[in-house]
Amino acid sequence: MPQFIDRTKSLEQLEGERWGDPPADSTSLVRTIYEWRRRPIGTLEPHELARLIGQNVGLRWLLPLGVEILREEAIGQAAGGFLDGDLLYAVVTRSPDVWTADPELGRQLKTTVSMLTELSRYLKQEVETFLASLPEDI
């Protein structure tokens, strides 16, 4: 995963790949993902990141942003702040290979999820599954 991410660029610019227009018979989700790929990634809201990450789109660029947002939310949660469960779910349910490929990002997420409180039973299960899937050295 990149150390510096230019948040003023879109996924299309960062990846150097333009998808063009979605197929005419695309679902609204597919049309929306095509649209979001054209926006600067720094303008994407947490729920938009969750959808893109959940579809494995732009993980190289979006996972670090998602982990950063979750870390900020975990810190704020202690003061009564809000946690975006959709973003958490999208991030922790990515393939274990993602975290093996970027162990530092995996460590950051591991530290972040350890700070979370008041998770639903469902999210708590997903977090536990994520933690169990990490290699021992992460």
Is residue 54 domain-resident?
A: yes
Category of 20 on φ-ψ map: left (φ > 0), alpha (ψ -120 to 50) or beta: left
Is residue 5 domain-resident?
A: no
Is residue 78 domain-resident?
A: yes
| pTM exceeds 0.85, yes or no | yes
State the pLDDT at residue 4. Answer: 82
State the pLDDT at residue 2. Answer: 58
The dihedral through the CA atoms of 108, 111, 115, 121 has a sign that is: positive
Those residues of the chain that have pLDDT short of 70 are: 1-3, 78
Is residue 6 domain-resident?
A: no
